[in-house]
Structure 1
Amino acid sequence: MHPVDAFLLEDSEDAVWESYHENSKTTRATPHLYFDRHPSDGTVVAMMNRLREAKPYHDRPRIALPYDLPPSVIGLDEALTGRESARGFGPGPVGLPDVSKILRCAYGVTRPNADGRYPRPFRAAPSGGALYPLELYLWAREVSGLVPGLYHYDPAAHELHELGEFEAGGCFVQSDLVAAAPAVVLVSAVFYRSAFKYGERGYRFVLIEAGHVVQNAVLAASGRGLAAVPVGGYFDRELDGRLGFDGLHESVVYCLLLGPREPE
């Protein structure tokens, strides 16, 4: 047997991902993580009504974002086929209308669901059970119309909550690339919003959803002629600590750097 084949077939007690993948499979017999069996629709609706749709930050100043989104300068086909991860950014800020469009296209509310079965309006990204476990934070380093600092995005109101001064460049593996980005979107997950219904599998859904959201943001940025790069290289505990997360109930799961394209 080839050494590589032997390595791939070998069980490892240290490979936590193998245990997690097995434990998070959907089966007909596995008991639910929180309930004796899969919760009924009534239980799910009751839990959704108890859980927040988004973190409120009632005591923070609010900044309304424009609903009139700037048009894309290229079509969807070109944005998809021309997508690339930026390796640097050009000089200058990112405009607030562009940030508004990227946030709304990433995770904004797209239509109401008042007469629907479950009490959540729909958003731009698909979500397991329409539970929407993610939160979006904007680290505005050089965004026109915004004081540099940290902001939280409220999808329902399409506005930002101003959270104050912020610096986390040292929390990233590629700190030089972050230092060149005028804007950084930090995607965190409140895991229980998904796990209460789906148990262990809910964690899978959270990560899948983060991918949907960031891809939406990348395409919206490309449509506006901006450079973007999704980033997973960060020191989790350090970044969570800067944001005030405990790293267990809520934690950063993905990041996106935004800025002008480098001059050709």
Structure 2
Amino acid sequence: MSTTPVERALSYHTRTKHRLDRYARALGYLDWSTQPDPFRTFEGAPRLLLPLRASGLTAAYRDLYRPGAVPTAAVDLESIAALFELSLGLSAWKETRGSRWALRCNPSSGNLHPTEGYLLLAGAPGVPAGLYHYVSRDHALERRATLDPAAARALAGLFPAGSFVVGLSSVHWREAWKYGERAFRYCQHDAGHALAAIRYAAAALGWSAVLLDDLGDAELSALLGLDRDADFAGIAAADREHPDAALLLVPAAPLAPTALAAARAVGASAAEVIRVVAGGAWAGRANALSPSHVDWDVIEDAALATWKPHTEEPAAAPEAALPPLAGGVDGADGTPGAGALASEVIRTRRSATAFDGHTSIGAETFYAMLDRLLPRPGVPPWDALPWAPLVHAVVFVHRVRGLAQGLYVLERSEAAHERLRAALAHPFDWERPEGCPDHLRLYRLSEADLRGPAQIVSCHQEIAADGAFSLGMVADFGATLRERGAPWYRRLFWEAGVLGHALYLEAEAARDSGGRVRATGIGCYFDDVFHELCGITGDAFQSLYHFTVGGPVEDVRLMTRAPYEHLEGERREPDPR
């Protein structure tokens, strides 16, 4: 029986690996009578209906990657509404044969959406001071705690001028209902996607965002009201929310060093912030999400093992300076041009369900996508994570014009080179592709047609072989957990989710003569089959998430509806398609 938190986290990870002869434990069927409600609400909490304003944002997608290129929007009702619309809001409804379900700007494993979002602010025009819960279905904020003027002033004194906090939590049962024990992994992927979605939406408003890195889970739980048992009375423990993370949103771009220091200061004053919020006038009772549940003790144990105390995380060592990201024009070098609005790219992002098996992309497009995965100061989404990269990519190249088929590795940090080279223990070539930008640490490991192995690795799913490329995200795993603690198990998955979100948007925005491409995340893969293919043994590096990009095949059986067509009056806006 594992005893230390790190041992328990490692044990959970090993136990929940998919293997060729068996999958991680789940029910093996879907009990539709217990499917969790994807929308949490708090009955009795006053509602603030948000206007639909995302379509009015004029920021170009490519300008999100140019520090200072997007003018800073005022923090008010309309800009806060746009932030939530572009991060955690609905992006469409799908219908077929009498069934209807919502898609959101933040992707989710199985479209099950365990992630809940909260807003804490000292007040802004149109938004009174308090703590709010966001309901994506209704594009509304439920005011959970109202702060009086004195409390609002006290909170304002603890935050940088004009800044506010967006918090995230997870309902693990929403994923466990379908995926069983492996669901805890997927909740962390989704938290990472949500962090990235918020950072991109903030960038479209000219704002910055940084993780409140020091904050402990008990502090975040108190801050978001998740520990208020009376407000969750009458619902099962499985319907409760687990604290994930919080971002400090700062109305400035790029993020100044003083803002990062301010995020540390907010973390240091967490007890005072909690005292102010706890003293507010609270309202609302959480709805039950499911009439009955299956208890997955292993998930509960993983959550307890990775519970984060308050910490003072050390500043990340500076990485080598990278050249500015290429801008380009549509079709010239694979990067999105001025015609691609950030709001359009974000709201039309979809998870591909099948690829056509022939669409290719040019090497320039491929390199541009990979370049967006490297951290640069003031550039989303990586400036939101205050640590150096710990997740790298092993890439199956299938259909990239100007690049040989084969297995490649992208090192996202120069410091990882020797350890990665030792971990990928097969006698690989480690050759730099001709024409690859000098700063892009991409190596060809072997030249071969690996469409078959890629499909096998991803639980025999054709989508991993039919695209332009697929990849496995390999994390600096065992040493990170043993040196930094079990809570880093969740953070490694968050980083993988952020990386996946960047790929989603890059695929959606790509302009390439080979045709339109889309992406999809793959949570189902045979962990150790992939490790064996890479020569990985032990737990020094582990694959945490898989991804694929290719030419999408549209499902013509599905009808697409605008995300908020059910809202009346001035809150309605055109379908972004």
If the TM-score is normalised by the length of the shorter chain, which range does it land in? 0.7 to 0.9
The 1:187–1:177 alpha-carbon spacing in structure 2 relative to 1, beyond 3 Å, is: farther
What does residue 109 of structure 2 align with?
128
29, 33, 47: which one aligns with 1:39: 29
Q: How many angstroms apart in 1 are the aligned matches of 2:156 and 2:124? A: 19
* Letter of the structure 1 residue corresponding to residue 208 of structure 2: A
Q: How many angstroms apart in 1 are the aligned matches of 2:43 and 2:61? A: 37
What does residue 109 of structure 1 align with?
90
Q: How many angstroms apart in 1 are the aligned matches of 2:203 and 2:157? A: 18
* Letter of the structure 2 residue corresponding to residue 179 of structure 1: F
What does residue 29 of structure 1 align with?
22
* Alignment partner of 1:18 is 2:5: no
Q: How many angstroms apart in 2 are the aligned matches of 1:117 and 1:32? A: 31
231, 255, 261: which one aligns with 2:246: 255
25, 45, 63: which one aligns with 1:60: 45
Give the SS at the match of 1:120: strand
Give the SS at the match of 2:127: coil
Cα displacement (A) at 1:93: 6.6
Q: How many angstroms apart in 1 are the aligned matches of 2:157 and 2:171? A: 27
Q: How many angstroms apart in 2 are the aligned matches of 1:118 and 1:26? A: 31
Cα displacement (A) at 1:76: 1.5
Asked if 2 retains the 8 angstrom alpha-carbon contact of 1:95 and 1:145, the reply is yes
The 1:177–1:200 alpha-carbon spacing in structure 2 relative to 1, beyond 3 Å, is: farther
211, 224, 231: which one aligns with 1:230: 211
Structure 2 length normalisation: TM-score? Answer: 0.36
Asked if 2 retains the 8 angstrom alpha-carbon contact of 1:96 and 1:143, the reply is yes
* Letter of the structure 1 residue corresponding to residue 40 of structure 2: K
Higher relative contact order (CA 8 A, sep 6+): 1
* Letter of the structure 2 residue corresponding to residue 135 of structure 1: E
What does residue 87 of structure 1 align with?
none
**Which consecutive unaligned segments of at least 5 residues does structure 2 have?**
148-154, 229-236, 257-577
**Which consecutive unaligned segments of at least 5 residues does structure 1 have?**
1-11, 84-89, 167-174
> In the TM superposition, what are the counterparts of 1:160-239 in structure 2 within 5 Å?
160-165=141-146, 179-180=159-160, 182-239=163-220
Asked if 1 retains the 8 angstrom alpha-carbon contact of 2:131 and 2:146, the reply is yes
The 1:133–1:146 alpha-carbon spacing in structure 2 relative to 1, beyond 3 Å, is: same
Q: How many angstroms apart in 2 are the aligned matches of 1:121 and 1:132? A: 10
Asked if 1 retains the 8 angstrom alpha-carbon contact of 2:54 and 2:86, the reply is no
The 1:107–1:14 alpha-carbon spacing in structure 2 relative to 1, beyond 3 Å, is: closer
Count of matched residue positions in the alignment of Structure 1 and Structure 2: 231
Q: How many angstroms apart in 2 are the aligned matches of 1:177 and 1:198? A: 44
Which has the higher Rg, Structure 1 or Structure 2?
A: 2
Asked if 2 retains the 8 angstrom alpha-carbon contact of 1:80 and 1:219, the reply is no
Asked if 2 retains the 8 angstrom alpha-carbon contact of 1:93 and 1:142, the reply is no
* Letter of the structure 1 residue corresponding to residue 33 of structure 2: A
Moved more, 223-232 or 53-62: 223-232
Q: How many angstroms apart in 2 are the aligned matches of 1:75 and 1:122? A: 23
* Letter of the structure 2 residue corresponding to residue 216 of structure 1: A
* Letter of the structure 1 residue corresponding to residue 62 of structure 2: D
Q: How many angstroms apart in 1 are the aligned matches of 2:77 and 2:186? A: 31
Asked if 1 retains the 8 angstrom alpha-carbon contact of 2:122 and 2:130, the reply is yes
Asked if 1 retains the 8 angstrom alpha-carbon contact of 2:169 and 2:244, the reply is yes
Asked if 2 retains the 8 angstrom alpha-carbon contact of 1:73 and 1:224, the reply is no
Q: How many angstroms apart in 1 are the aligned matches of 2:82 and 2:245? A: 19
* Letter of the structure 2 residue corresponding to residue 66 of structure 1: P
* Letter of the structure 1 residue corresponding to residue 244 of structure 2: V
Q: Deviation digits for residues 204-258 of structure 1, max 9, x if unmatched?
A: 1111111111211111111111122133431111321343425984222121111
What does residue 137 of structure 1 align with?
118
The 1:153–1:98 alpha-carbon spacing in structure 2 relative to 1, beyond 3 Å, is: same
Give the SS at the match of 1:238: helix
The 1:13–1:97 alpha-carbon spacing in structure 2 relative to 1, beyond 3 Å, is: closer
The 1:142–1:98 alpha-carbon spacing in structure 2 relative to 1, beyond 3 Å, is: same
Runs of 4+ aligned structure 1 residues displaced above 6 Å come to: 175-178
The 1:176–1:235 alpha-carbon spacing in structure 2 relative to 1, beyond 3 Å, is: farther
What does residue 484 of structure 2 align with?
none
Cα displacement (A) at 1:78: 2.5
Cα displacement (A) at 1:130: 0.9
* Letter of the structure 1 residue corresponding to residue 52 of structure 2: Y
Structure 1 length normalisation: TM-score? Answer: 0.75
* Letter of the structure 2 residue corresponding to residue 52 of structure 1: D
The 1:143–1:189 alpha-carbon spacing in structure 2 relative to 1, beyond 3 Å, is: same
Q: How many angstroms apart in 1 are the aligned matches of 2:227 and 2:16? A: 23
